Amino acid sequence: MLDPMTMRCLRGFIRWIMPIPFAALIAGCAVTPEPLTPDELESQVQKDMERLFLEETESLPKVLTLSEAIARALKYNLDHRVKMIEEALALDRIGMDNIELLLPDLVAKAGYRRRDKRLASKSSTLAGKEDPDYKYSSEKGSVTTDLTSRWNMLDFGVSYYTAKQNTDHALIADEQRRKATHNLMQEVRSVYWCVVAFQVLDKPIRDTLDLARHELANADTQLREKLGKPLETNRYKRMLLKNIQELESIRKELSTARITLASLIRARPGTEIQVAIPNQGDLQPPEWDIPIGEMERLAFLNNPDIRVGFYESRIAIRETYKAIARTLPGIELTASHRYDGNDFLKYKRWREWSAGLTWNVLNVILGPERIEHAEIGEKITEMQRLALRMAVLTQVHVAERQFRDTLTQFRLADKLSQVNREITELVKTRLVGDRSVRDFVYEQTSVIASRLRRYRAYAELEAAYGRIHATLGLDIAPKEVISDDLRKVTESISDTLSAWKSGDLVRRALAKEKRIAKREGVEGGEEETLTEWAYFMPGMEANEAPKISLKWSSALEGHDKEDHDRDHSNGDNGAALENWRSHRISTSISD
């Protein structure tokens, strides 16, 4: 056996040497940056390229129609698919919240414990008489299990409002997907008509450029050989160079359209996409004869931004409810089933129940400040919602005015293109001599430029028409169709585009909303009237509020903020009418 001095030295050595391996272990676990290797980058690039253009996408048809282009964009466009996945994720979160937030906690435990010495103790009486013998009542080791269910009423109340807020977040994701769909559709329509213009004008542009460059070379030859009048020849060169410059500018403007369209429909950039070219007289402007008041009403009911504002207002209101709930005491109920393998116990299995009252005094002290902060947030979202209404109202009027202006521009461009074509045909009939060739180059350039302006005006007209429908919130295809096969999506969009262009889509939406309004009016015992809608701001009198007259049901009048809170607590998240009814209404006048 070692002597005491040796033992002390050994313990000191161990105390100093033991930290070294632990320090080495910690240093070995330190995290250092690990950049990707060239092989890893190359492998990831190859996988991404395959997923970009080979995964899930169907081959392009020989001739791509507008309906097919929109269908492919809705089905394959990556940005749009991100919005759809975000919406699906938000909807899945609702089911998780119902389990995670609203149900009681259920915790299962199992373990084994052991000690090297027994848990022995002695006792003493109140008189101070001590029992000299040590006693124990448990084994050195035992197995324990525990299944406990715990439910707190305060946590349930707060979790309930949190779950309701998450449902509104899911609805916001749905509206953001709708807005992304509208924007994507507008972009596809605009780019599609640019591709049509490029496909129609590309060959005439190249032929005219070849002819202009040939004439420019002849003019240079005349100047070198001093043939003809130098002043007239240089003027001719100037005219040719201006025409070449204009034609190259047109070609540059249209050359990227196919690349952009390929990106939107998830095709490889540089793909030679052939689009369906309408006949010369088939570019008919769309019809639009809906009164501005009806447009305002549809926008206020269906516009995605308007609906997002409503849902954000409800989220802010429920945040106030949560702040109030946190100031209340919480009742906690607990039930458990336990097991202990200690052989000294008579009953190794037993059940326990308990109830308790908890109250966080700090929450009571900070409660008024938190409630005030939540109410300020509620007022801010309400003001933002009203400001958003005014912005959407402006968008409706701007979209309608842009459509009228672009319609006028298209008709002028159409007439100018027709006149230039007739002039060119006349010049071609007497194409004799240098002067005639010079006139033909000039007139052909004018024809190409006017045809470009015509297609550009038509593309702007279609874009303006699309902005109207996007502002009104009219969907091109139901959400459930987007996930179907491409052929069905194309057919659905083709039918919708036909109804869109004829105006039936808007008329059906108006008829649907009028039926809802009439039903609400009958249930309320009132008839439909011509109502003045007022946009109230805090501190504003009724006679100071700007008003807009439109047809609606007087059964919706007098709906103040308290009614708004009550109506929106019923969980009917899908009713656009309930969203609209939160808007305040002034006095109605008879139709």
With respect to residue 337, please indicate whether it lies within any of the assigned structural domains. yes
Would you call 275 exposed, middle or buried from its count of C-beta atoms within 10 A (0-12, 13-18, 19+)? buried
Angle in degrees, 0-180, between the axes of helices 433-472 and 361-429, rounded to the nearest 10: 150
* pLDDT exceeds cutoff 80 at 514: no
Is there a single domain that holds both residue 465 and residue 524?
Answer: no
Of the pLDDT bands very low, low, confident and very high (cuts 50, 70, 90), residue 352 is very high
Is there a single domain that holds both residue 388 and residue 521?
Answer: no
With respect to residue 104, please indicate whether it lies within any of the assigned structural domains. yes
| Domain span holding position 366 | 69-113+140-485
Over range 576-589, report the average pLDDT: 33
What single letter denotes the amino acid at residue 382?
E
What single letter denotes the amino acid at residue 523?
E
Is there a single domain that holds both residue 223 and residue 335?
Answer: yes
Considering the entire predicted model, what is its pTM?
0.69
Start-end of H helices in 256-303: 257-264, 292-302
Question: H/E element holding 549?
Answer: strand 547-553
Is there a single domain that holds both residue 442 and residue 546?
Answer: no
Over range 561-585, report the average pLDDT: 38
Is there a single domain that holds both residue 329 and residue 406?
Answer: yes
Q: What is the pLDDT of residue 13?
A: 61
Q: What is the pLDDT of residue 325?
A: 85
Encode pLDDT of 277-289 as tens digits.
Answer: 877 556 777 778 7
Encode pLDDT of 472-495 as tens digits.
Answer: 888 776 665 555 678 888 888 888
Residues 6+ apart with CB under 8 A from 290: 503, 506, 507, 510
**Last residue of one domain, picked from the residues 457, 485, 513:** 485
**Last residue of one domain, picked from the residues 485, 514, 532:** 485
Is there a single domain that holds both residue 155 and residue 206?
Answer: yes
Encode pLDDT of 287-326 as tens digits.
Answer: 787 888 888 888 888 889 888 888 988 898 888 888 888 8
Over range 251-272, report the average pLDDT: 85
What single letter denotes the amino acid at residue 120?
A
What number of H helices and E strands is found in the chain?
17, 9
Is there a contact between 112 and 78 (Cβ–Cβ < 8 Å)? no
Question: H/E element holding 145?
Answer: strand 141-152
Positive or negative torsion for Cα 546, 549, 550, 552: positive
Name the pairing type of β-strands 330-340 and 141-152: antiparallel
Q: Round to whole Å and give the CA distance between 330 and 349.
A: 30
The residue ranking higher by pLDDT, 550 or 274, is: 274
Is there a single domain that holds both residue 478 and residue 519?
Answer: no
Is there a single domain that holds both residue 408 and residue 556?
Answer: no
Is there a single domain that holds both residue 576 and residue 450?
Answer: no
DSSP 455-495: HHHHHHHHHHHHHHHHHHT--SS-HHHHTS-HHHHHHHHHH
* pLDDT exceeds cutoff 80 at 272: yes
CATH number for the domain spanning 194: value is: 1.20.1600.10
List residues bridging with 152 in a β-sheet.
Answer: 332
With respect to residue 377, please indicate whether it lies within any of the assigned structural domains. yes
With respect to residue 6, please indicate whether it lies within any of the assigned structural domains. no
With respect to residue 12, please indicate whether it lies within any of the assigned structural domains. no
The residue ranking higher by pLDDT, 498 or 540, is: 498
Of the pLDDT bands very low, low, confident and very high (cuts 50, 70, 90), residue 24 is low
Is there a single domain that holds both residue 509 and residue 415?
Answer: no
Encode pLDDT of 90-102 as tens digits.
Answer: 777 777 777 777 7
Q: What is the pLDDT of residue 108?
A: 92
Q: Round to whole Å and give the CA distance between 428 and 426.
A: 5
With respect to residue 497, please indicate whether it lies within any of the assigned structural domains. no
* pLDDT exceeds cutoff 80 at 510: no
The percent of residues above 70 in pLDDT, for the chain, comes to 76
Is there a contact between 315 and 169 (Cβ–Cβ < 8 Å)? yes
With respect to residue 455, please indicate whether it lies within any of the assigned structural domains. yes
| Angle subtended at Cα 586 by Cα 584 and Cα 591, rounded to the nearest 5 degrees | 125
Q: Round to whole Å and give the CA distance between 490 and 479.
A: 14
Tokens encoding 560: 């103040």
With respect to residue 192, please indicate whether it lies within any of the assigned structural domains. yes
Is there a single domain that holds both residue 286 and residue 357?
Answer: yes
Instruction: Domain count for the chain, please give it.
Output: 2
**Last residue of one domain, picked from the residues 458, 485, 512:** 485
Is there a single domain that holds both residue 221 and residue 291?
Answer: yes
What single letter denotes the amino acid at residue 7?
M
The residue ranking higher by pLDDT, 482 or 456, is: 456
Over range 147-152, report the average pLDDT: 90
